């Protein structure tokens, strides 16, 4: 799971943050970077996050990535994220990350 902060006060680009995560994974292990992923955006309760959330959601849909939007403060989206994580852990084989 990749957690991306949507707080608009940071001035960060959430897709650039996602790409940085991918670059770091590939630098460590191409195999690790190719594994199934869940992209999760956080702080959706904050005003001004709607456009960034929609952009990340569209990106995930275009690339076949699971997407969840959550708020750690309000709990929005957390049950669905936990259920998907549990389902994946139960159904996908565990493998150590290769270097």
The Cα 93–Cα 84 span in angstroms is 15
What is the count of structural domains for the chain?
1
What pLDDT sits at residue 44? Answer: 97
- The CATH number of the domain holding residue 33 is 3.40.50.300
What pLDDT sits at residue 89? Answer: 85
pLDDT digits (tens, 9 = 90+) for 29-47: 998 888 889 999 999 999 9
Which residue is associated with the tokens 């707080």? 7
CA distances from 92 to 16, 72, 80, 88 (A): 28, 26, 18, 6
Q: pTM to 2 decimals?
A: 0.87
Per 3-state DSSP, what percentage of the chain is helix, strand, and coil (rounded to 5)? Answer: 50, 15, 35
What percent of the chain stands above pLDDT 70? 94
What pLDDT sits at residue 73? Answer: 95
What pLDDT sits at residue 96? Answer: 59
The residue range of the domain holding 86 is: 2-91
What pLDDT sits at residue 50? Answer: 96
In a domain, 96, yes or no: no
In a domain, 14, yes or no: yes
The stretches in the chain having pLDDT less than 70 are: 94-99
């Amino acid at each position: 799971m990749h957690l991306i902060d949507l707080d608009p006060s940071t001035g960060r680009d959430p897709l650039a943050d996602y790409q940085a995560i991918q670059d770091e994974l590939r630098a460590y292990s191409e195999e690790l970077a190719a594994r199934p992923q869940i992209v999760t955006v956080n702080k959706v309760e904050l005003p001004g996050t709607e456009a960034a959330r929609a952009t990340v959601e569209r990106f995930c849909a275009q690339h076949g990535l699971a997407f969840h939007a959550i708020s750690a403060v309000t709990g929005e989206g957390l049950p669905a994220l936990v259920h998907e994580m549990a389902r994946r852990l139960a159904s996908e084989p565990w493998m150590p990350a290769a270097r």
